[in-house]
Amino acid sequence: MDGDWEVGLTEISISARIVNVAVNERYFELYIREEFVAKKTSQPGGYICGHLVIHNLNSQLRSRYPNAENPMIMFRYRGVGHRVMMQIPNEGPRVRVSPHLARILGFESNKFYSNHEEAHAKPSI
């Protein structure tokens, strides 16, 4: 096998179970008025759709506030417009999303969200 060789790639297979949510990269911070209250981090792992990321975030909130009748924050996916909604029913709580989680869910990073907010872009997962 001497001489020059030219090689081309005709097919590539990538596992759907790659880790696309790494430790401590995808989180949101919860503030009550101006005071920092908590940092909730997504469980690391391989997520194949945005619905699973949203489910994980809501589970994290329920584990933090298990006795709350109405969750302080709820993430939902809207089929109309294909956007993620962040619902904050009461006045006071504010949320800031990390750059990595913002990119996945379509939100802006380093912005404080309150009330009912819709992501500016479609989820990227």
Statement: residue 20 has pLDDT above 70: no
Q: What is the pLDDT of residues 71-105, one digit of tens each?
A: 678 888 887 778 888 888 777 788 888 888 888 88
List of E strands, 61-125:
74-78, 83-87, 93-97, 112-113, 116-118
Give the residue extent of every domain in the chain.
27-118
Q: What is the pLDDT of residues 53-73, one digit of tens each?
A: 777 777 777 776 666 666 678
Cβ neighbours of residue 76 under 8 Å, at least 6 residues apart? 54, 84, 85, 87
